[in-house]
């Protein structure tokens, strides 16, 4: 840049002083390579710069400055929820986009701009030396008021042209006609950075730092671009550069910079697809930057309403009422927008092209396009026309806006500290006003000052001292804004009257004149940034509380965990807990209340900050029994109150917090059980002939393979999201491996016998129950005979609890007691449901029949679902569907209560069953697993609505439908793809469910299979493989035998069972092979 005025007028890119805080030096050292994103922010370079009196230069649209101007954006994947300010955006852009792949050095970035960069910008660092400036392509028209780089064909910068002529700008244009705009980002190589830093202790450059000032040197202000970077431009001469420095001290500093930096080459990288907006003092430009949001090039999620609660239906007084209406009107339980619409829904109050950030808008707050509201709590009815910016208006103040339509105005509330007196001050300006233009040429509230004086009665002498020259009088120094009044409290109405017609204005003029007023220039040094940030934080969590209500009552698939982390970090956890208590106690919906309790458990768990032990664990401490009792009896409100009261005793240290979180999850399970028990209405029990005393009722069941969709059947996912699972009933090594038999005996007692293998093998557990008290541990899955005890209670063969003793119940109803034998040939934790749901189905089927009752297969499916909730294992419905219904089928449940499972048998091509038998191989991995801990984690993640859990639930259901279609077609390769995809989905739902040895096994078998998957929840048990070739059992055995690190494994034959469950009444001694007396299809 040769000659001319190098001063930067307002409204153009800032060259920036070396002692201003508008520049950030970031990333000294090697930046992240492509594909790696570090968790912590990049390290920063600390310089002993002189601290300014305020953040950068003055910015009239945000009291915290340009760097902390909030953007209408959210970061859905962020671990903690927070407002997104410009500095956040720039740090993200620098760290994860521009810095990636650069050599060691120092990045410097202005915070006076909004910068947008593509996700993978192309910057060639091969052979780089010296300093590199980053440019963005822009139009030649835009460049007339900004800076552009003149570069040669090798990308070396020849000059920096600021507000150049048309010919100068045309000289910088590329083939596409765009020019490389100065965007405020510079990279110094480590050599260049060290050379520059070495100058900060040498006079006169030390005067840019506090070291020089503390040594008595007068301060020097230098520009990054026009004093530091410009000296390295190729076309610049030493004489022109030094002479352009103004006074002697700056010329001396420039001479030193020339000596230190001239040898370094200055190159340019112009980022295709990037853009930037300089944050000027033009209100219309600022509003445009917040409403015309960038597109896909940004790494942020821009939205019309960011971190805000907006009443969507003003005619409904509360969200709870809205949810009630939604149910009454038949609204879908699960959708993208979970807030039901009412038939009187008004048109959308927020027009497209408007922007709302960190706000709470209650009632009918109408916002026109091209208008912005930030950090406001407004109570409607309020009408805001186009071209407006409102900021910092509290609810009490917003009442003055009712009946006062706004258009093309900037209305702001400020926190001001006048010595020891904090106060609120409101400012009002026009969208088209210029702060510094002389009043005789400028406007106020978008009209000439003369017209404003005529309408309001205000005189020039009210605003400016008489001795102030006419050309110096401007909006910036006009004492317009009331601060204090001797007799009355001031409010928003004390500036809004400036918009009023003359008849109204005359009533307010006297009050305005008697108030102590300040100009914006006088107010700026008094702005209380700490109070402003505190108010924004309080409003953020107030709207966050409304978000909690909105998400829970609206059944939205939004995660509250990021907001929870923020609330704990900022000390708002008590408010969060109070809101969750209110939702849980007032909803009247067990499903919503259960999720609210799960969220409370998350708050308590997060408060422990990773200490205090594991989240999963027991939850039966007697101190919580009273609260649990209320919930068990259906008194949700009373239970929530007792939980909250007990919670206060467990808040003092991490170990107690974690234990309290476990008990809240225990309370949540009570409500899940109650929701699932709604399925009992689909259990129909009829009467049948009572078998003779001593005659056995014997039931045999196949195992099941889940081919896709598992986990989507698990409560609460199954009734909040909807589930679909493809199952196959299978024989293992040619037999049905699971069974039970029951007979009536003369003694009024319950004899419970569990065999480890077949009915003829040695008993593993034998138990006799003669008192009701012997059944009281039925809900503890690891207690002896727990499943059998729960089966007696759920089939209502025994009433528990009851005032009538056990012996009396048995004698009165059945003339004696019962003996039950169960067995499973499958190992514990096999994943084939050998010791869980199918066994429960076998026991219940035999009990019903032995007690003279009958139940359909559909009834048994729902009865087992009920039993597992009573047993507190909390399982889903896929196991009993797979083992009780013959052949290949898909079970489905809708996202609603009562929970009902519907089963569709899948028709397959002729001969395909045999084909499937030939290509299925079962491998026992030798690793057992217990699904309970996995289940706790899955339910916890679902209730937290982690995005991965929600997306995976969608994928599970869609994969199940695709698998069912592949089976209808008899397409083995497509079925195999579904199996592989299903296994990846299982691992996503329950991380850690693939043991190392199983991974080795699957790797070894992958070349020979279309697909493979662990049965059940994973973690071990059986692996089933769909082989490419038929009858590969022996071949696979040889492959695995040669694979190291597998341990004990075994290979089993498997075939589809088209018969399903069998129920038969046999003689007194089934060992003698007597023919069954009756064969009953259940």
pLDDT tens per residue, range 260-269: 999 999 999 9
The residue that leads in pLDDT, 924 or 763, is 924
- Does the pLDDT of residue 509 top 80, yes or no? yes
747 close to 728: Cβ distance less than 8 angstroms: no
Backbone φ and ψ of 401, nearest 5°: -80, -20
- The whole-angstrom separation of Cα 870 and Cα 893 is 20
1027-1065: pLDDT as tens digits? 999 999 999 999 999 888 787 888 999 999 999 899 999
Q: Give the pLDDT confidence score for residue 312 in this predicted structure.
A: 64
More confident: 956 or 1080: 956
pLDDT band for position 328 (50/70/90)?
very low
pLDDT at site 833? 53
Q: Average pLDDT of 434-440?
A: 94
Q: In terms of C-beta distances under 8 Å and separation of at least 24 residues, what long-range contacts does 1036-1045 make, across chains too? A: 1036/921, 1036/923, 1036/1005, 1036/1008, 1039/1004, 1039/1005, 1039/1008, 1040/923, 1040/1001, 1040/1004, 1040/1005, 1043/1000, 1043/1001, 1043/1004, 1044/1000, 1045/996, 1045/997, 1045/1000
Looking at residue 297, its pLDDT comes to: 45
Looking at per-residue confidence, does 989 or 759 come out higher?
Answer: 989
Determine which of 100-104, 162-166, 337-341, 665-669 has the lowest per-residue pLDDT on average: 337-341
For residue 716, say if its preceding peptide bond is cis, omega within 30 degrees of 0: yes
- Low-confidence winner among 12-21, 630-639, 756-765 (lowest mean pLDDT): 12-21
The residue among 234 and 871 whose pLDDT is bigger is 234
Residue 576 in this model has a pLDDT that exceeds 90: yes
Across 233-348, the runs of DSSP E, i.e. the strands, are: 266-270, 275-278, 301-302, 305-306, 309-310
* pLDDT above 60 (res 244): yes
The pLDDT of 924-928, averaged and rounded, is 80
Q: What is the rounded CA–CA span in Å between residue 163 and residue 169?
A: 9
Q: By the 8 A CB rule, do 427 and 520 touch?
A: yes
Q: How does strand 516-518 pair with strand 481-484? A: antiparallel
With tokens 């009630």, the residue in question is: 324
Helix (H, G, I), strand (E, B) or coil at 395: helix
What does the pLDDT read at residue 277? Answer: 87
Structure-block tokens of residue 514: 């008697």
Non-local CB neighbours of 510 within 8 Å, separated by 6+ positions? none
Count of CB atoms situated within 10 Å of the CB of 247: 8
Highest mean pLDDT among 320-329, 464-473, 1062-1071: 464-473
The pLDDT assigned to 187 comes to 97
**Residues contacting residue 539 through CB under 8 Å, at least 6 positions apart:** 358, 359, 360, 375, 377
The average confidence (pLDDT) of the chain is 86
DSSP class of residue 821 equals: E
What are the start-end ranges of the H helices in 618-723?
Answer: 625-632, 636-647, 654-676, 717-720
Q: φ, ψ for residue 611 (rounded to 5)?
A: -110, 175
Is a pLDDT exceeding 70 seen at residue 868? yes
The predicted model gives 381-408 an average pLDDT of 93
d(CA 385, CA 407): 5
Q: What confidence category does residue 215 fall into, taking pLDDT thresholds of 50, 70 and 90?
A: confident
Pick from 1024, 734, 726, 738: which is nearest to 864 by CA? 738
pLDDT value for 496: 95
Helices (H), ranges, 467-516: 493-496, 502-514
User: What distance in Å separates the CA atoms of residue 154 and residue 70, rounded to the nearest whole number?
Assistant: 39
Residue 1080 pLDDT exceeds 60: no
| Mean pLDDT for the stretch of residues 720-745 | 95
Strands 360-362 and 377-379: parallel
**Rounded to a whole number, what is the distance in angstroms from the first to the last CA of the chain?**
92
Confidence of residue 355 (pLDDT cuts 50, 70, 90): very high
Q: For residues 37 and 840, which has the higher predicted lDDT (pLDDT)?
A: 840
What is the model's pLDDT at position 294? 57
The pLDDT of residue 500: 85
Report the share of the chain in percent with pLDDT over 70: 87
pLDDT on residue 925: 87
In this prediction, residues 907-932 reach a mean pLDDT of 86
Q: Could you report the per-residue pLDDT of 933-955, keeping only the tens digit for each?
A: 678 889 999 999 999 999 999 99
pLDDT band at 639 (very low <50, low <70, confident <90, very high): very high
What is the rounded distance in angstroms from the CA atom of residue 424 to the CA atom of residue 420?
Answer: 13
Name the band, by pLDDT with cuts 50, 70 and 90, for residue 446.
very high
pLDDT of residue 50: 34
Question: Using 50, 70 and 90 to split pLDDT, how confident is the model at 507?
Answer: confident
Beta bridge partners of 1026: 920, 1011
What is the predicted pLDDT for the residue at 38? 33
Q: What is the pTM of this model?
A: 0.85
- Residue-wise pLDDT for 105-121, tens only, equals 999 999 999 999 998 89
pLDDT classification of 6: cutoffs 50, 70, 90 = very low
Lookup: tokens for 878: 């896929």
Evaluate if residue 1075 carries a pLDDT over 90. no
- The residue-averaged pLDDT of 23-43 equals 34
**Measured between alpha carbons, how far is 500 from 482 in angstroms, rounded to an integer?**
16
Band of residue 529 on the pLDDT scale cut at 50, 70, 90: very high
Residue 253's pLDDT band, with cuts at 50, 70 and 90, is very high
- Identify the band that residue 831 occupies on the pLDDT scale cut at 50, 70 and 90: low
For 663, residues 6+ apart whose C-beta sits below 8 A from its C-beta are 619, 621, 624, 643, 646
DSSP-derived letter for residue 466 is T
Q: Are strands 723-732 and 481-484 parallel, antiparallel or unpaired?
A: unpaired
CA distance 368 to 364: 13
pLDDT at 624 over 70: yes
Q: What's residue 407's pLDDT?
A: 96
pLDDT of residue 1082: 28
Average pLDDT over residues 230-251: 90
Q: Residue 761: pLDDT band by 50, 70, 90 thresholds?
A: low
């Amino acid at each position: 840049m040769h000659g001319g005025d190098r001063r930067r007028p307002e409204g153009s890119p800032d060259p920036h002083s070396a002692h201003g805080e508008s520049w950030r030096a970031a990333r000294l050292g090697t930046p992240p390579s492509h594909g790696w994103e570090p968790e912590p922010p990049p390290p920063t370079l600390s310089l002993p710069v002189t601290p300014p009196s305020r953040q950068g230069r003055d910015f009239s649209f945000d009291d915290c400055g340009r760097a902390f101007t909030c953007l209408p954006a959210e970061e859905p994947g962020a671990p903690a929820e927070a407002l997104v300010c410009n500095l956040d955006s720039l740090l993200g852009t620098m760290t994860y986009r521009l810095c990636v792949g650069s050599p060691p050095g120092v990045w410097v970035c202005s915070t006076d701009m909004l910068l947008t960069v593509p996700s993978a910008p192309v910057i060639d660092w091969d052979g780089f030396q010296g300093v590199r400036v980053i440019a963005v392509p822009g139009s030649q028209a835009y460049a007339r008021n900004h800076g552009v780089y003149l570069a040669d064909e090798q990308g070396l910068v020849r000059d920096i042209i600021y507000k150049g002529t048309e010919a100068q700008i045309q000289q910088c244009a590329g083939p596409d006609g765009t020019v490389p705009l100065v965007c405020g980002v510079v990279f110094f190589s480590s050599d260049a950075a060290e050379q520059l830093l070495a100058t900060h202790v040498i006079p006169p450059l030390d005067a840019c730092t506090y070291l020089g000032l503390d040594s008595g040197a007068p301060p020097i202000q230098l520009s990054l671009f026009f004093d530091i970077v410009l000296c390295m431009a190729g076309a610049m001469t030493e004489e022109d550069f030094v002479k352009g420095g103004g006074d002697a001290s700056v010329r001396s500093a420039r001479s030193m910079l020339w000596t230190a930096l001239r040898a370094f080459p200055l190159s340019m990288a112009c980022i295709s697809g990037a853009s930037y907006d300089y944050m000027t003092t033009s209100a219309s430009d600022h509003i445009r930057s917040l409403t015309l949001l960038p597109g896909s090039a940004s790494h942020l999620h821009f939205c019309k309403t960011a971190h805000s609660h907006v009443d969507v239906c003003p005619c409904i007084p509360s969200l709870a009422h809205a949810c009630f209406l939604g149910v009454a009107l038949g609204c879908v339980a699960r959708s993208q927008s979970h807030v039901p619409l009412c038939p009187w829904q008004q048109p959308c109050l927020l027009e497209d092209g408007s922007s709302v950030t960190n706000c709470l808008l209650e009632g009918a707050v109408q916002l026109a396009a091209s208008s912005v509201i930030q950090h406001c709590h407004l109570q409607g009815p309020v009408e805001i026309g186009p071209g407006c910016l409102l900021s910092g208006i509290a609810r009490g103040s917003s009442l003055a806006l009712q009946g006062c339509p706004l258009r093309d105005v900037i209305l702001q509330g400020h926190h001001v500290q006048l010595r020891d007196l904090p106060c609120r001050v409101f400012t009002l300006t026009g969208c088209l006003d210029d702060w510094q233009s002389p009043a005789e040429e400028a406007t106020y509230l978008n009209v000439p000052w003369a017209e404003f004086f005529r309408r309001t009665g205000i005189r020039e002498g009210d605003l400016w001292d008489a001795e102030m020259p006419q050309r110096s009088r401007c909006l910036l120094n006009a004492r317009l804004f009331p601060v204090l009044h001797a007799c009355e409290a001031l409010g928003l109405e004390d500036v809004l009257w400036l918009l009023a017609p003359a008849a109204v204005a005359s009533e307010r003029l006297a009050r305005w004149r008697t108030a102590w007023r300040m100009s914006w220039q006088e107010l700026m040094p008094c702005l209380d940034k700490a109070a402003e940030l505190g108010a924004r934080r309080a409003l953020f969590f107030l709207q966050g509380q409304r978000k909690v209500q909105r998400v829970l009552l609206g059944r939205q698939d939004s995660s509250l965990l990021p907001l929870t982390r923020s609330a704990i970090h900022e000390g708002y956890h008590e408010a969060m807990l109070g809101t969750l208590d209110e939702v849980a106690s007032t909803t009247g919906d067990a499903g919503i209340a259960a999720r609210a309790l799960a969220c409370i458990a998350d708050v308590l768990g997060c408060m422990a900050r990773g200490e205090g032990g594991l989240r999963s664990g027991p939850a039966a401490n007697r101190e919580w029994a009273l609260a649990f009792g209320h919930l068990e009896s259906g008194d949700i409100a009373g239970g929530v109150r007792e939980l909250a009261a007990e919670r206060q005793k467990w808040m003092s240290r991490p170990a107690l917090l974690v234990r309290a979180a476990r008990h809240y999850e225990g309370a949540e399970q009570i409500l899940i059980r109650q929701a699932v028990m709604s399925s009992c209405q689909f259990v129909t029990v009829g009467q049948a002939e009572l078998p003779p005393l001593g005659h056995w009722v014997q039931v045999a069941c196949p195992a099941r393979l889940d081919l896709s969709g598992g986990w989507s059947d698990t409560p609460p996912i199954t009734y909040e999201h909807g589930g679909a699972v493809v199952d196959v009933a299978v024989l293992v090594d040619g037999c049905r491996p699971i069974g039970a038999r029951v007979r009536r005996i003369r003694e009024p007692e319950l004899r419970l016998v569990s065999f480890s293998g077949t009915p003829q093998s040695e008993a593993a557990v034998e138990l006799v129950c003669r008192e009701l008290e012997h059944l009281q541990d039925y809900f503890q899955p690891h207690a002896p005979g727990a499943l059998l005890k729960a089966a007696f209670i759920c089939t209502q063969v025994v009433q528990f609890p009851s005032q009538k003793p056990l012996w009396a119940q048995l004698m009165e109803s059945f003339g004696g007691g019962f003996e039950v034998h169960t067995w499973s040939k499958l190992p514990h934790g096999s994943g084939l449901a050998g010791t869980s749901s199918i066994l429960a189905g076998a026991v219940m089927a035999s009990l019903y029949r032995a007690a003279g009752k009958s139940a359909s297969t559909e009834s048994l499916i729902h009865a087992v679902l009920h039993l597992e909730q009573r047993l507190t294992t909390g399982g889903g419905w896929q196991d009993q569907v797979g083992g009780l219904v013959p052949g290949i089928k898909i079970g489905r449940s809708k996202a609603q209560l009562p929970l009902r499972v519907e089963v569709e048998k899948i028709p397959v091509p002729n001969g395909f069953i045999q084909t499937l038998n030939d290509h299925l191989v079962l491998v026992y991995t030798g690793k057992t697993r217990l699904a309970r801990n996995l289940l706790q984690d899955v339910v916890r993640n679902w209730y937290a609505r982690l995005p991965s859990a929600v997306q995976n639930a969608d994928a599970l259901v869609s994969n199940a439908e695709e698998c069912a279609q592949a089976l209808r077609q008899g397409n083995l390769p497509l079925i195999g793809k579904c199996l592989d995809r299903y296994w990846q989905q299982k691992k996503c739902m329950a991380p850690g469910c693939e043991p190392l040895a199983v991974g080795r096994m699957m790797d070894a078998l992958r070349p020979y299979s279309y697909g493979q998957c662990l049965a059940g929840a994973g973690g071990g048990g059986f692996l089933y493989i769909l082989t490419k070739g038929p009858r590969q059992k022996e071949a696979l055995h040889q492959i695995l035998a040669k694979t190291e690190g597998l341990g004990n494994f075994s290979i089993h034959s498997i075939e589809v069972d088209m018969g399903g469950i069998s129920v038969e009444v046999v003689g007194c001694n089934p060992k003698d092979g007597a023919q069954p007396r009756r064969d009953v299809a259940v």
